Amino acid sequence: MKKTELDKGGPSHQTTDDRDQTMTTAQGGPIADGQNSLTAGPRGPVLLEDHILREKIFHFDHERIPERVVHARGYGVHGTFELTKAIPELSCADIFQREGEKTPVFTRFSTVAGSAGSPDLARDVRGFAVKFYTQEGNWDLVGNNIPVFFIQDAIKFPDLIHSVKPAPDRGFPQAQSAHDNFWDFISLTPEATHMTLWAMSDRAIPRSLRFMEGFGVHTFRLVNAEGKSHYVKFHWKPRQGLQSVVWNEALKINGMDPDFHRRDMWDSIDAGDYPQWDLGIQVFDDEFADSFDFDILDATKLIPEEDVPVQIIGTMTLNNNVENFFAETEQVAFCTQNIVRGIDFTNDPLLQGRNFSYLDTQTKRLGGPNFTHIPINAPKCPMRHFQQDGHMAMHNPKGRVNYEPNSWSEDAGPRENPDVGFNSYPENVAGEKQRTRSETFADHYSQARQFYISQTDTERDHIAAAYTFELSKVEREEIRLRMLSHLMNVHDDLASAVAKGLGITDMPKAATPAREPIDVAPSDALSILKNGPNSFAGRKLGIFICDGADADLISALESAFKEEGAMTEIIAPHIQGAKLSDGSVKPADEKIDGGPSVVYDAVAIVLSDDMAKSVAAMKPAKDFLSDAYAHAKFIGFTNAAQPLFDAAGLSGKSDEGLIELNNADAFVKSCRALRYWDRMKG
C-alpha cells in the first residue's frame, strides 16, 4: 500500500540533499520513517524487531529522573563572577587572587517545599546555589535567600522536610506550610523560632529572583597560603535592590502565572537586562568568635552586619539563559562538599550533615557515581584521577595503570602534589563520643526578637498577618497555642497581634526558654524596606489603554521608563491593541483579563473620554485598578479614568500614590519608591 503524506509524517521530511539534518537513532543510524511502527501488514501486530520503536519508547520511559526531595522547583542561569578585590591575605583559593578575572558560574534558584510542578510564589525559603568553575576545580556555594535555618543539627532534617511536605495519608497540601504537621513540628522545636520570623516575613515571597539576597548560611573558613585561618560568612547583595510582593498579590500571581519568577528571569536576560549580585564576606577571627553572644557554628544564628561589616570582593552577572532545561537546570548537581583549596569547613553540625547528604542524593538522582561527567557538572579545568567504570562512565584512565601508588615510569597516571593540593585546616579536635547539643546553641529567641524589632511597622504587620494566616489553617488548637507561647518570648506586640487575629483571648503561658533571651540591638540590614533601591530599574510598568488614548502620553511614558532602565507592557481590552488619538494602532502585549495589575510594579491608566464608560463596565478593568490600589502600587491616570475609579469603588480616593499623568518623568520619580505603603495603614 502506498503511504500518504500523513503516514509519512507530512511534508516535513528531509530530502536527500539535507543529509546533515537526517534524523538518526541514538547509535547514529539514519531513520527513514519515525512516524510509523514496523508491523506485519498494514493492520497487523507490531514486530519485536522494531529497534527504532524500542529505542524511542525506551528513552521516553526513562527521560524523567527522580526529582529533588527538596528544592525540586528550580531555575538555572549561566553567568560570570568577576573578582573586584583580591584577598590573598585571607585565602589561597585561586579564584580570589587576580582582580578583574572572570570565572564562569551556573546559578540555580529554587523553592524548598514544593514539587517541580508547584507555583513560583509559594511562601517558602528560596534556594540560592552557585557553582563556580574555577581553575582549580568546582566550588559550590549552596545557600538560601535567608541567612539562618530552622534546625541546628542535620539529623533533624528529614523530620523538618517530612513535616512540611504533603501529608503521607492524603498527599496534600502542596508547596504550603500552613498546616498542622509543619506547625506541630515547629512548635515542638524552639530552635526554629528565629527562622519562622524570616519565613513569615516578606523575604519568603520575593517579587523576583533578581531582587533577593543570597547567603551561604553556615560559617566557613578561609585559609591563606601560610595556613592561617579566618572564619567567613558569604553574602550575595542584589544590585537592583530588594523587593517582595504582598500575600494577596502572591496568591493571585500564582493563579495567573505560576511560572512568574521563571518568566521574569528569562525575559530580563533575554532583553539584556542582566541581574547582578555583589559577593560579600564577613570575616572574623577566633577572638571575635569567642566574644560573640551566640555560637558561630549555630546555623539558626547570624552575625549582624553592624558587628562585622560585609566586604564586597566581586560581582556575579547572570547573562545567559540555558539552552536545555533538563540537561542544565535539572541535571546540575550541587554539593556543599565541593570546595577548593583556600576554603574549608567548620564544625557546624548542619553543614557536616549536608556534606554527607548531598553526594548521596546526587548519586541517587543521576544514576551513579559519574554525574560529574555530565557537562553542566564537569569542571572546566583538567581532571586527572584513577576513578573509572560505574554507571554511564564517560571518561576513564587510559593505559595499564588504574591505581596508586604505582611504580610504572610510563603511563603512571597522576600524582599527589602537596604544594598545591587541598589540605584540611589542622584544627585541634578532641572529646568524648556523645550525642548532645552544645549549651552555646541554647538561646532560641534573642535573634528572633532582633529580627522583629529591626523591621518597619509595615513589615511587622506583614509578619503578624502571615503567622495568623498560617496558624488559622492549623486544626488543632493546642498547636496554635504552643506556637503562640514561643512568640511571647519574641515580642509582646507580635504575640498579641497574632492572638487577636486568631481570636484567642486567653493567652497561654510563655514557653520556658532553654536559656534566657538577651536584648540585642536592631539591625537595619535585616529589613527589606530600609534597604530599598530608590530606583525603578529592572521593574515593569503596565500601561492600560483603549481606543482614543493619548498617543503622545503613551510614548512619553514608554520613553521615560526605558530611560529609567525599566520595562513597559501595553494592556488593552483586546489583544489586537487600540487605535490611539493620532490614528496609529498600538499593539497590546496583554488582553486586560490576561494582564492583571498583580504582575506589574506600577500601573498607568490612559483612557479616552469616548471609551471611558465602556471600559469602566469591564470586570477585569475594575479588578486591574482595585488590586493595584489594594496592593499599594503607584497608579498614574488620566482624567478620563474617573468612571473606572467610580466603578471600582475608589471615588474620592486621594493619596500621594495616585498621580495624575501630567508629566511622565515625575511619575517615574514617584515610582522609585516601589510602593506607597501609607495607603495600607488606612
Cα→Cα distances 605→345, 610, 622, 637, 643, Å:
55, 15, 11, 5, 12
Strand partners, 80: 104, 317
d(CA 366, CA 329): 13
d(CA 667, CA 671): 6
All three cell numbers of 429: 579536635
Asked if residues 243 and 111 have their Cβ atoms less than 8 Å apart, the reply is no
Q: Quick one: which H or E segment has residue 74?
A: strand 74-83
Cα→Cα distances 330→48, 133, 300, 322, Å:
33, 18, 29, 11
428 among known catalytic residues:
no
d(CA 538, CA 567): 7
Cα→Cα distances 600→30, 536, 665, Å:
49, 12, 18
Q: What φ, ψ does residue 604 adopt, rounded to 5°?
A: -125, 135
d(CA 583, CA 548): 8
Cα end-to-end distance, the chain, whole Å: 78
Q: Which of 36, 59, 62, 71 is catalytic?
A: 71
Torsion angle of the four alpha carbons 401, 406, 409, 410, in this order, in degrees rounded to the nearest 10: 10
d(CA 249, CA 257): 12
Q: Which of 138, 144, 181, 489 is catalytic?
A: 144
Cα→Cα distances 649→286, 448, 645, Å:
61, 40, 6
Asked if residues 73 and 118 have their Cβ atoms less than 8 Å apart, the reply is yes
Q: What φ, ψ does residue 681 adopt, rounded to 5°?
A: -85, -15
Asked if residues 38 and 67 have their Cβ atoms less than 8 Å apart, the reply is no
Cα→Cα distances 284→168, 305, 441, 517, 600, Å:
44, 12, 19, 24, 42
Strand partners, 543: 570, 604
All three cell numbers of 337: 562538599
All three cell numbers of 228: 592561617
230 among known catalytic residues:
no
Kindly give, in sequence order, each residue whose CB lies less than 8 Å from that of residue 421, ignoring residues fewer than 6 positions away. Answer: 341
What are the catalytic residues?
A: 71, 144
